[in-house]
Amino acid sequence: MTHEAIIPTGSAPPLAPYSPGVKSGDTVYVSGILAMDSDGNVVGPGDIKAQTRQVIEAIRSVVEKAGGSLSDVAFNQIFLADLGHYAEMNEVYGQYFGQNPPARYCIKAELVKPEFLVEISSIAHLS
């Protein structure tokens, strides 16, 4: 099966050799997304809610570019630099995934740069 790189207009520049997303058949794999703008600047330094919002909006743009929506997301992998941000991240996350939420896990991890507070990777299955 072939796969197609999904790179939405305005995507943050990758920090390594990867695509923001890949569509393979009816499945979309979204790379770990960090809170960056299209110029590669950190969005919401020190603000977990702003970073979570930016990350989920970037995930939305990848899934929509592939022909889906956030309701097609079946699984999220969440990485937090500090588990003390768990409740605030969930508050924003629930605004996007409150109805019929996807499966997920959330772990504490050291992220690629200390200014990043959250990273989320997703898998979506398109209808």
Of 44, 105, 103, 58, which is closest to residue 80 (Cα–Cα)? 105
Given a contact cutoff of 8 angstroms between Cβ atoms, the answer to whether 25 and 127 are in contact is no
pTM of the model: 0.96
Give the per-residue pLDDT at 25. 96
Total tally of structural domains belonging to the chain: 1
Asked if pLDDT for residue 1 goes beyond 90, the answer is: no
Where residue 45 sits, what CATH number does that domain have? 3.30.1330.40
Give the per-residue pLDDT at 42. 96
Count the residues in the chain. Answer: 127
Domain that holds residue 86: 3-125
Q: What is the mean pLDDT of the chain?
A: 95
